[in-house]
Amino acid sequence: MYICENCHVKIRGNKASCPLCGGELSGAPEDPAFPVLPQRKYTSRMVFKSALFAFCALFVVMGTIRYLLGPQAAWTSAVMLWAPLGLAGLIITMAYRYNVLKLISAEVYIAMVLNLLIDIATGRHGWSVAWVIPALFLSLVITVFIVAKAMRLRIGEYLMYLITAEVLSFFQVIFIIRDSNPHPWFAVIVMASMLLFVLAEFIFLFQDFRNATEKTLHL
């Protein structure tokens, strides 16, 4: 720490002269209160710009290949279908990287949309709505519960993620009504399980259930 011989005061920081009298200082500067952190080489904005450029370049390359090869390059359509969802997954990962439950939920919903689009693009066989989407809903609820317990979160911190997945799972009835699901029994079992989960949460965790829904719906 610097000391001014004229004012007999101690001077913090790295000063060239005494701020009171302008005289010379003796001693040595002390370490700064806040350490200087090195700047990150790769920022979130740079990663996003790089991913966006790669996305645009991929579309240009795939479009060129499709034009040059014609029907022989039908696989390019699948690549161009995956690319936007891949970019969306990256954006969500960057946005929610500090919220594990929100990240897991968003990634699972993107996987549902991706599988549904692939199923539609490959002939509407119905495997996505019959098996993949119901399995993803069930896996999401189980995963959120296990991760929340492992992180020792309070019920109110993860209950809304469970409720959201459980409520969204009921939309599977649309595929059943429209006869888009060739094997609806698995989806029906999953929706029945979700209904039991919702009833259990409403009955046994009513106050937490109410707080979670009011906070989300701003009631």
Q: What are the pLDDT digits (tens) for 138-197?
A: 999 999 999 999 889 888 889 999 999 999 999 999 999 999 999 999 999 999 999 999
Strand partners, 190: none
Please, are residues 180 and 138 in contact by the beta-carbon 8 Å criterion? no
- 151 vs 36, higher pLDDT: 151
Q: Determine the Cα–Cα distance for residues 219 and 204; give it in Å rounded to an integer.
A: 21
Q: To the nearest whole percent, how much of the chain has pLDDT over 90? A: 36
Q: What is the pTM of this model?
A: 0.69
Write down the pLDDT at residue 219: 44
- Orientation of helix 133-150 relative to helix 155-169, angle to 10°: 180
Distance CA 145, CA 165 (A): 12
- 123: tokens are 């002939």
